[in-house]
Structure 1
Amino acid sequence: MEENKKFQQDKVITISFAHFVHDVYTSFLAPILPLLIEKFSLSLSFVSFLTVIQRAPSLFNPVVGYFADIFPIRYVLIAIPALSAVMMSFIGLMPSVSLIVILLLASGIGASLFHVPAPIMVKHVSGNRIGKGMSYFMLGGEIARSLGPLYILGGISLWGLEGTYRLLPLGLLASLLLYFKFRNIPIAGELNKKKKETGAIKVLKEQSRMFVSIGGIFFFTSLVKSSLTTFLPTYMTENGASLWVGGISLSIIQFAGAAGTLFSGSISDKIGRRFTLMFMAIISPFLLLLFVFVSHTMFAIPVLILIGFIMFATIPVLLAEVNTIKSEHSGLINGIFMTLNFAIGALSLLLIGIFGDYLGLKTTYILSAFIGFGAIYFVSRLPKTDRV
């Protein structure tokens, strides 16, 4: 009993490391978009579609979560970093867009199989510091999205876009290491051995208000976030910056996001998750507007740091909130959460691409900022949860 209440830092860090390795490779797409646009003469709308394809398997996250509550999928999780490495490292070598779509789809399947059960494992080893545990977990992903662009751009500098398959060995090595580190940590299905007394449909009905509120928060915050992640290198290069400046700008915002991710969960454990979320919902759109007007000046970097620190902190706080729900179907609940995150994020990203084609990215950024204030309403509608 005492072990369940203790924050087991070594195990939390192991899971976070797995998250890091996986997301290094899945972060390759955004920084190479300018090269893919040039190589295949792609529109911004189609570029958005590529990201949607990568996220499409997340629609089946509830199914993954349901089975993760029943069956242990330890070795699937161990293999996923290698799978992601193979899929994403070979994008530059593909001679057609259709083959790139297939690789992105396979990468998205791997992401679904990883992101649903992993937070349940974090919850199990975080004791009564779930917010802190989720911050560690999300930190791995944010650091990966910071270093991933530099990793892929470094490969392009050495071998060109077609030579990025040489970045593959790191992912293969990581899966081998994870086999020895990861094999003794329980997976979702092993954490829920007792017979379930509450039906999955009843859980969905009981938590419907929570899911609607989270969906609204995701939609409006994703408009701001998508503008400044997927399209940031493109926005910078369109305004005369080099590909490296665009990639470094993306890494800056991701590094700042890693810091925000690390501290937000612990802060929300102390001052309250709704207060933390409301602050972020109010501030983030203002910072996006500020970035538009200072993006050509020396103030762009400090503004990007502020945006990253605040904007990326939303997910670990919401993830901690979801994992405090007292339920026998934690895998299903996490699956729905991840589906809302990825699917609604993909929808908002598609909208950014369409508006970017017709209005230009600068006008789209401004429009996204004003619409982004809609998150305030949905934060205020979050219900109180039955805590674990």
Structure 2
Amino acid sequence: MNSTKKFQTGNVVTISFAHFVHDVYSSFLAPLLPLIIEKYSISLSFASFLTIIQRLPSLFNPLVGYAADKLPIRYLLIVAPAITVTCMSLIGVAPHLIVLIVLLLTSGIGVSLFHVPSPVMIKKVSGDRIGKGMSFYMLGGEIARSVGPLYVLAAVSLWGLEGTYKLIPLGLIASALLFFKFRKIPISDAFKNKQKETGAIDAVKKHLAFFISIGGIFFFTSLVKGSLTTFLPTFMTEKGESLWFGGIALSVVQFSGAAGTLFSGSISDKIGRKATLLIMGFSTPALMLLFIFTSDTMFAFPVLILIGFIMFATTPVLLAEVNSIKTEHPALINGIFMTISFLVSAFSLLLIGSLGDLLGLKTSYIITAFVSVLAIPFIFKLPSN
């Protein structure tokens, strides 16, 4: 079999593990939001703003992507986790709100440096099974976001909010181990030496309609996804549950999402990405409404499992779609995809936070469930495959 068509399991797993290490630490904010809201006496709208601050460097993802097309990609994946690990472990000891904002902003730089080039690396080592490769990659991230809340809440239970800095050494050790692994993945040379035949601006213009469709899908699906991944612990504590209960609920969603990401890419390789996205587009709003009206019952967790499985499966399918584009600027195209993700999710988070302050989180959850069906027309505009 041609090596370019072969699925390189070892390299895919290595990159996916790097994704896991990185995202364990980048997921600390949501489970700590109830404590941060109390510590700084901030509103839900401002809490949404903190999440946006963390993602703000994503605005520069196209520049990161353009640079990654010319520089050794593997070194970005080595440095980025160390930045994120350090900054996110220090948010508990931030003495002032401005320090917290600086830490979140710096961690966001690490997030951008990691997430822009890593899917391109996955594409190169996945051969003709891009969907499967993206599923492995997203599995690492979703398991991380399942483990992350429990990991940081365990640290808070042991040492208090101000003791989260003690999580730095383990993260840095993991980053050091990744250095020795990534030295053996010679992908960056292929990007660095490849002759670019199409200008970057021309490449963007060529796929503009496609990115508009992606933006529409991201915005309307992120209303549900953002409301749960950012405010589920806060929603649960407002209902009288403990911080641990809220953190467990979030981990349940993330863990079931990990299962969804594992299977969705391979399924989309078989039945088509458009068909897979349509199934998700119709299912997510219904499941969100079901959760809202069962959140006080024993059925809440089974429904959260279903929501997580369906809702998180969207991203690896869209990543596979983006990375199937034939272009001489793969990291740039992926950077634009990540920037679109940031912009639409940032706006949706502000909307959710504002609605939560104005109408309460339960009412805002109901509204987002109904509005999220508008993702379906944008899915229909995607090319069939």
| Matched-pair identity in % | 68
1:54 aligned partner? 54
Partner of 1:21: 21
Summarize deviations over 1:286-336 as a string: whole Å, max 9, x none.
Answer: 111110000000000100000000000000000001111111111111000
Give the partner amino acid of 2:55: R
CA 1:351–1:372 in structure 2 vs 1: closer, same or farther (change >3 Å)?
same
**Structure 1 position 201, deviation (Å):** 1.2
The alignment partner of 2:229 has SS state of coil
Give structure 1 stretches of 5+ with no counterpart.
none
- What displacement does 1:192 show? 5.1
Q: How has the CA–CA distance of structure 1 residues 239 and 53 changed in structure 2, closer, same or farther, with 3 Å as cutoff?
A: same
> What is aligned with 1:141?
141
Alignment of 1:88-107 (within 5 A): 88-107=88-107
Within 5 A, what are the aligned runs for 1:178-197?
A: 178-188=178-188, 190-191=190-191, 193-197=193-197
Instruction: State the match for 1:286 in structure 2.
Output: 286
1:383 corresponds to: 383
Structure 1 residue 167 displacement after superposition? 0.8
List 4+ stretches of structure 1 deviating above 4 A. none
SS at match of 2:283: helix
CA drift of 1:383 comes to 3.0
CA RMSD of aligned residues (A): 1.1
Contact 1:209-1:383 within 8 A present in 2 as well: no
User: Is the aligned partner of 1:151 residue 2:156?
Assistant: no
- Residue 171 of structure 1 and its aligned partner are, at CA, apart by 1.0
Q: 1:339-387: CA deviations, max 9, x gaps? A: 11122111111110011000100000000001100000100111358xx
What does residue 365 of structure 2 align with? 365
CA distance in 1, matches of 2:254, 2:384: 31
* 1:2-35 deviation per Cα after TM superposition (whole angstroms, max 9, x unaligned): 1111000000000000000000000000000000
Please give the secondary structure, in 2, of the residue aligned with 1:241: coil
Contact 2:70–2:191 at 8 Å: present in 1 too?
Answer: no
Deviations 1:88-127 (A, max 9, x none): 0111101111000000000001110110110111000000
Q: Which moved more, 1:283-292 or 1:76-85?
A: 76-85
* Partner-residue secondary structure (3-state), 1:5: coil
User: What is the match of residue 220 of structure 1?
Assistant: 220
Written as runs of structure 1 = structure 2, the 5 A alignment for 1:218-257 is: 218-257=218-257
**TM-score, scaled relative to structure 1:** 0.97
> 1: CA distance between counterparts of 2:381 and 2:334?
20
What's the counterpart of residue 342 of structure 2? 342
8 A contact 1:84–1:171 mirrored in 2: no
Letter in 2 for 1:60: F
The question of 1:43 aligning with 2:34 is answered no
Preserved contact between residue 272 and residue 384 of structure 2 (Cα < 8 Å):
no
Q: Which residue type is aligned with residue 141 of structure 2? A: G
Give the deviation of 1:147 after TM superposition: 0.1
- Are the equivalent residues in 1 in contact too, given 2:91–2:100 (CA < 8 A)? yes
Match of 2:353 in 1: 353
Give 1:32's aligned residue: 32
Secondary structure, in 3 states, of the residue corresponding to 1:4? coil
Q: Spell out, residue by residue over 1:147-198, the C-alpha distance to the aligned partner (whole angstroms, 9 max, x if none).
A: 0000000000000000110111111101110011111213446335221111
- The answer (yes or no) to whether the contact 1:209–1:382 under 8 Å persists in 2 is no
